[in-house]
A and B are shown apart, each in its own frame.
Chain A
């Protein structure tokens, strides 16, 4: 049995910052259900991803769960990332424990000083005394990637941050088994393969540049989707790219280029002439929702497939934690 995405909603824009967190999530969930033609009574499982630090309260899933209708319903909350909530939902469906599952994830960075919140991620002994936030970590990672790739190879790619700052958003996906999705006779995508993995917290080693956890996550997703050659099997990739150079290293970890053709691939990436379309939606520059960026990449891929790319196959990449310590990959296919 496969899990399928039968509905999705990304609620964002300047007006959402005026909404309370609860209202933002509620409106996104309501819109996703409406788009899918379902009522909350049709949902038997809820999988959410909350972050105490970002939401500004302890066990923040308590106040956010009711916004997605988690009342007298089964609920699971992953606080590590939205993409992990999606993975848990997919596992529940594959295990036969859920018929319709609502997945939700959000971020409201406009509410607080993100740089200070980022520093709370650091361990108390070694990292916290350092002035580390997402910006500094991206800088360190960029330096490591230049060293690993060779400056000549990546000269055409920029190292400026893709994003000018995260914005508020709530992302909701509605999942069902592929059998249930087929009976509905509405457009949907199937999750053909997925994987997630984690690197060491200590970000000083080679993994900072080469992202072995992404390669592992992709390997698992490819195996599940029966993909031997991703470069020919995929039509597009939606990735969480902090810099153009970071995007190159993501492509390398995904097996879309190798050390041998990296310079050539970097040139194609810079000219937007890669065989597989990389970040056709604009990547992180277009949708930096901080803790919700990963689930948004999946939702964006789903939109692209159901809105026109029949029979196409896309890869959604999600990253979380310091300097993309944790990576996830979802392979979606238009039904």
Chain B
């Protein structure tokens, strides 16, 4: 029997292009301090730390988890482990934190991340280096062109259009206006999105996530401790993870292992989460889905079971996924409005947990009992998902 694991507190900084006033350690400390205050704990209460850090080159210091050990609270001989699964890192780190406690080895664990994507020079040049140097790096690929190809595949297979993508952008930008931490807070129209600068067909500037700097932290604890900290905690009831093929060439053509329009591994990850929690898509009241470009949200919603891929665009226009819609998606504005890479999937977890705890502020969805969070890393290769609920999983040990 696994021990039940609950979210005791969360903390975020404002996401923005640059943080000249804070060093990397200070940026990290800011989010940690807020999470500890939210949890009504101090660093002394933390038994172990999980540090989320994606490509080393974005920070400019190899194995920066060692440099940031002091700032992350891993001092005085405290255990710290770094997780790196690309864009999924933040949620993979929460999964690692879950295992720390569910195993019975630790009681209270801090998960944290700081990223300065906006200050890392040319992030897309760095991200070109995720592909192998012999075959695919020279195409040229970066995370924008890679996912632009996904959009074209999705258009071809499911009949969506650039205008459908623009509607996603409009809705997420509108949602971000209610999120004080969001990087991009700008009301945009469909026409403005369609007229914005083309980055890589069909992805335009306003279909794209920003390069954000910022930090985020979450405190997890066991069932016994949470009783005295939080009357309305978010419990982790389901989690899943799955990897897809690395090679882009294996995602197109007649012999494709997984056609680029779809992500069977993402669906597998989410289904694993649902199965662990004993829940289904219909049981979710809100979802924070990792979608750095407009087209990706149209693709992830069906993989999560919230709509058919043939109907998702129509339902998006009808408002089904709005804050007051039948299945609110990304009420925080999502990755489209804030993307500090290592922290991004952690933020999905934080926002989902906050929705369950009733702490999401102006973008709170009413009556949330279960919330889904997802993360995507690498070249659409690593997928993580997690379900936060207002009650522990049946059968979990509450000690």
| Interface: A153 (CB within 8 A) | no
CB distance from B242 to the nearest CB of A (A): 6
Which of B3, B80, B126 has the most C-beta atoms of chain A within 10 angstroms of its own C-beta? B80
Q: How far is the CB of B354 from chain A (nearest CB, A)?
A: 25
| Cross-chain contact B104 with A201 (CB below 8 angstroms) | no
**What separation, in Å, do the CA atoms of A202 and B68 have in the docked complex?**
10
- B85 near A121 with CB under 8 A, answer no
Is the Cβ of B95 less than 8 Å from the Cβ of A76?
yes
In the complex with contacts A122-B61, A201-B67, A215-B77 CB distance below 8 A = yes
B55 x A52 contact (CB < 8 A): yes
Q: A92-B99, A197-B77 are contacts. A72–B265 as well, Cβ < 8 Å?
A: yes
B84 and A50 contact, CB distance less than 8 A: yes
Interface contact B242-A59, CB-CB below 8 Å = no
A96 touches B2 (CB 8 A): yes
How would you classify the secondary structure of chain A's contact residues: helix, strand, loop or mixed? mixed
Q: Is A187 an interface residue (CB 8 A)?
A: no
The interface bits of chain B over 364-393 (1 if a CB of A lies within 8 angstroms of the residue's CB, else 0) are 000000000000011101100000000000
Complex contact A198–B77 (CB within 8 A): yes
- Min CB distance B278 to A, Å, is 15
Partner of A76, one of B85, B105, B268: B85
Q: Residue B132 at the A interface, CB < 8 A?
A: yes
Closest to A79 in B: B84
Is A51 a contact of B63 with CB atoms below 8 Å?
yes
A-B contact count (CB 8 A): 192
Q: CA of A57 to CA of B75 in the docked complex: distance in angstroms?
A: 30
In the complex, the answer to whether A57 meets B77 with C-beta atoms within 8 Å is no
Asked whether any CB of chain B lies closer than 8 Å to the CB of A271, the reply is: no
- Residue with the greatest number of chain B CB neighbours at <10 A, chosen from A51, A90, A96, A326: A326
A293 on the B face (CB < 8 A): no
Q: Are B62 and A200 in contact (CB under 8 A)?
A: no
Q: Report B138-155 CB contacts with A as 1/0, cut-off 8 Å.
A: 000000000000000000
Give B275 Cβ to nearest chain A Cβ, in Å: 12
Chain B interfacial residues counted at CB < 8 A:
64
**Is A73 an interface position by the 8 A CB rule?**
yes
Give complex CA distance A61, B381 in Å: 10
**Once the chains bind, are B382 and A75 in contact (CB under 8 Å)?**
yes
Whether A58 touches B127, Cβ cut-off 8 Å, given contacts A74-B242, A117-B62, A325-B66, is yes
Q: In chain A, residues 39-76, which have Cβ atoms closer than 8 Å to a Cβ of chain B?
A: 46, 50-53, 57-59, 61-63, 65-66, 70-76
In the bound assembly, the distance between CA atoms of A75 and B3 in angstroms comes to: 21
Docked pose: A51 CA to B240 CA in angstroms: 24
Report the minimum CB–CB distance from B45 to chain A (whole Å).
17
- Within 8 Å CB of B379, what residues of A? 62
| 8 A Cβ contacts from A176-221 to B | 195-202, 212-213, 215-217, 220
A200 in contact with B75 (CB, 8 Å): yes
B380 to chain A, nearest CB (A): 10
Q: Measured between alpha carbons, how far is A217 from B48 in the docked complex, in Å?
A: 12
Q: Judging by beta carbons under 8 Å apart, are A95 and B99 in contact?
A: yes
- Check A79 against B82 for contact (C-beta < 8 Å): yes
Contacts of B130 on A, CB cut-off 8 Å? 57-59, 62
A108-140 CB contacts (< 8 Å) to partner B: 117, 120-124
CB distance from A17 to the nearest CB of B (A): 18
Q: Are A121 and B63 in contact (CB under 8 A)?
A: yes
Instruction: Establish whether residues A201 and B2, one from each chain, have CB atoms under 8 Å apart when the complex forms.
Output: no
Quote the shortest CB–CB distance from B157 to chain A (angstroms).
21
Q: Among the listed B67, B77, B83, which residue makes an inter-chain contact with A213, where contact means beta carbons less than 8 Å apart?
A: B77
A70 surroundings in chain B (CB, below 8 A):
243
Cα A87 to Cα B81 in complex, Å, equals 9
In the complex, what residue of chain B is closest to A199 when comparing beta carbons? Answer: B77
Q: Verify B105–A94 contact, CB threshold 8 A.
A: yes
Known: A58-B129, A77-B85. A197 touches B63 (CB 8 A): no
Contact with B along A212-246 (1 / 0, CB 8 A): 11011100100010000000000000000000000
Residue in B closest to A84 when the chains form the complex, CB atoms? B81
- In the complex, the answer to whether A57 meets B92 with C-beta atoms within 8 Å is no
Q: CA–CA, A70 to B246, complex, Å?
A: 10
Chain A residues within 8 Å of B133, by CB: 57
Across the interface, do B377 and A59 meet the contact criterion of CB distance under 8 Å? yes
Q: In whole angstroms, how far apart are the Cα atoms of A197 and B377 in the complex?
A: 28
| B187 nearest CB across to chain A (Å) | 35
Q: Give A192 Cβ to nearest chain B Cβ, in Å.
A: 13
Q: Is B60 an interface residue (CB 8 A)?
A: yes
B340 at the interface (CB under 8 A from A): no
With the chains together, A6 CA to B140 CA distance in Å? 43
Tell me the minimal C-beta distance from B325 to chain A in angstroms: 32
Q: List 6 A-B contacts (CB under 8 A).
A: A72-B268, A76-B95, A80-B51, A120-B62, A198-B69, A198-B75
